[in-house]
Structure 1
Amino acid sequence: MEFGEVVRRRRMVRNYDPDRPVPPAVVDRLLDHALRAPSAGFSQGWGFLVLSTQPDRERFWAATTPPSAEENRWLTGMRRAPLIVVPLANKSAYLDRYAEPDKGWADRDEGRWPVPYWQIDTGFATLLILLTVVDEGLGACFFGIPPDRVDGFRAAFDVPDRYAPIGAITIGYRAPDHRSPSLRRGRRPATEVVHHGRWRRPVEEPTGQDDRTVE
């Protein structure tokens, strides 16, 4: 599939065919592509928990879903996914890397970082998984783990403290599902979000006096 077509087809899929497992070779390609994501200082401070067996997937949903949560269309469809991949960010890998002689931030001060690159880089890797999923003819959905369920998730899968999940990805062959109501908002036009040369505010409604773009 052409790369442009992969990008255009990518969307979040929330219902899967439970009788079609993801082939192991495809799982390997998803992870191989994820490992090719860029990372600051080539720190590669990420980890991926792969859950492909039914007991593991059930343990994931039990650990991450509040007991009071009611079964709904979203949860029912997501539970049908035959594969879950949890991307995790390792902040200490970045602090350690940038304390090395060629970087020199020996104090390991997090304040030196303008943004948490450990999360950004793990997000890059996650997007490569999502794009590879489309190229392989599958569907996927990235979603968050509730903060109050993270400790339970760690305990259920023996995740070291230095690794923090940035979310989770359900993966499988698509089944009919409903479009997200959020899509009714429409895609924001490039004229609102792309700025060339300098930042410009959107064109305001004409006032009859001066309808030029305000800078």
Structure 2
Amino acid sequence: MEFQDVVRRRRMIREYADQPVDPAFVERALANAVRAPSAGFSQGWAFLVLDQPADIETFWDVTTTPGELPDSWLSGMRTAPVVIIPCSSKAAYLDRYAEPDKGWTDLDEARWPVPFWHMDAAMASLLVLLTAVDEGLGACFFGIPPEYDAATRSAFGVPDDFDPVGAITLGHRRPEEAASGSPTKRVRKPQVDVVHRGRWTS
């Protein structure tokens, strides 16, 4: 698929066909993810892959309220045969920039204008989303609510120096797939409204 077609077709898929995902695709998606840029080539990311039904069931159990009936979003998302949890490590970045070639002599987080560890993990996640489109599959990135962070860490052994930045569902698109989510209720902003050249204009 041409790159412009991949970008044009990319959208969040919230319900999947009852069809397994080829493990080779998951490996390609991860291989592309680690090609993302990272500050200082810190590469402070990690990816927890859940592709066994029991693990995926555990994920939904620990990230939702017990006994609560699933809404249409959750019912659709639970049909995904693969869940990837991208994580970021702030420590990897602080340590990297305290190395001699970077010149900082401390691990002060205040030196960072924005948390690049999260940004870089997000860019890696986007490459997973684009790879899914290129393969003709669907994917959706979504957040894990803070109140479920501890349970997620405990269930899957996520170490303290890594933070889940969200989760990505992967699967085959349904043949009768229809548009869903916020884009069905909100229009995409025109490019002219969000691009400013030379000086910010209202």
TM-score band, normalised by shorter chain: over 0.9
The one-letter code sitting in structure 2 at the alignment partner of 1:107 is D
Report what 1:136 is aligned to: 135
Confirm or deny: 8 A CA contact 2:29 2:132 kept in the other structure.
yes
- Determine whether 1:97 maps to 2:114: no
Q: Distance in 1 between matches of 2:121 and 2:67?
A: 31
- Determine whether 1:17 maps to 2:5: no
CA 1:4–1:178: 2 relative to 1, 3 Å: closer
Report what 1:51 is aligned to: 50
Give the C-alpha shift of residue 68 in structure 1.
Answer: 4.8
Confirm or deny: 8 A CA contact 1:14 1:177 kept in the other structure.
no
Confirm or deny: 8 A CA contact 2:14 2:180 kept in the other structure.
no
The one-letter code sitting in structure 2 at the alignment partner of 1:16 is Y
Q: CA RMSD in A?
A: 1.1
Query: Where in structure 2 are there 5+ consecutive unaligned residues?
Result: none
Cα offsets for 1:46-81 (capped at 9, x unmatched): 000000000000011111112253211111111010
Q: Distance in 2 between matches of 1:156 and 1:187?
A: 38
Report what 1:78 is aligned to: 77
- Determine whether 1:191 maps to 2:192: yes
- Determine whether 1:124 maps to 2:123: yes
Confirm or deny: 8 A CA contact 2:15 2:80 kept in the other structure.
yes
**Mean alpha-carbon deviation: is it higher for 141-150 or for 61-70?**
61-70
The one-letter code sitting in structure 2 at the alignment partner of 1:21 is P
Report what 1:3 is aligned to: 3
**Mean alpha-carbon deviation: is it higher for 117-126 or for 188-197?**
188-197
CA 1:79–1:155: 2 relative to 1, 3 Å: same
Larger radius of gyration: 1
How many residue pairs align between the two structures? 200
SS across alignment from 1:169: strand
The one-letter code sitting in structure 1 at the alignment partner of 2:70 is E
Q: Distance in 1 between matches of 2:57 and 2:105?
A: 43
Identical positions, percent: 58
Report what 1:109 is aligned to: 108
CA 1:124–1:181: 2 relative to 1, 3 Å: closer
Report what 1:41 is aligned to: 40
**Mean alpha-carbon deviation: is it higher for 173-182 or for 109-118?**
173-182
Q: Distance in 2 between matches of 1:137 and 1:166?
A: 25
Cα offsets for 1:165-188 (capped at 9, x unmatched): 110000000123552244322011
Q: Distance in 1 between matches of 2:158 and 2:133?
A: 29
- Determine whether 1:179 maps to 2:187: no
The one-letter code sitting in structure 1 at the alignment partner of 2:191 is A
**Mean alpha-carbon deviation: is it higher for 160-169 or for 173-182?**
173-182
Q: Distance in 1 between matches of 2:145 and 2:52?
A: 23
Query: Where in structure 1 are there 5+ consecutive unaligned residues?
Result: 202-215
TM-score, reference length from structure 2: 0.96
CA 1:57–1:177: 2 relative to 1, 3 Å: farther
Q: Distance in 2 between matches of 1:93 and 1:13?
A: 32
Give the C-alpha shift of residue 101 in structure 1.
Answer: 0.5
The one-letter code sitting in structure 2 at the alignment partner of 1:193 is V
Q: Distance in 1 between matches of 2:127 and 2:31?
A: 10
Q: Distance in 1 between matches of 2:93 and 2:182?
A: 38
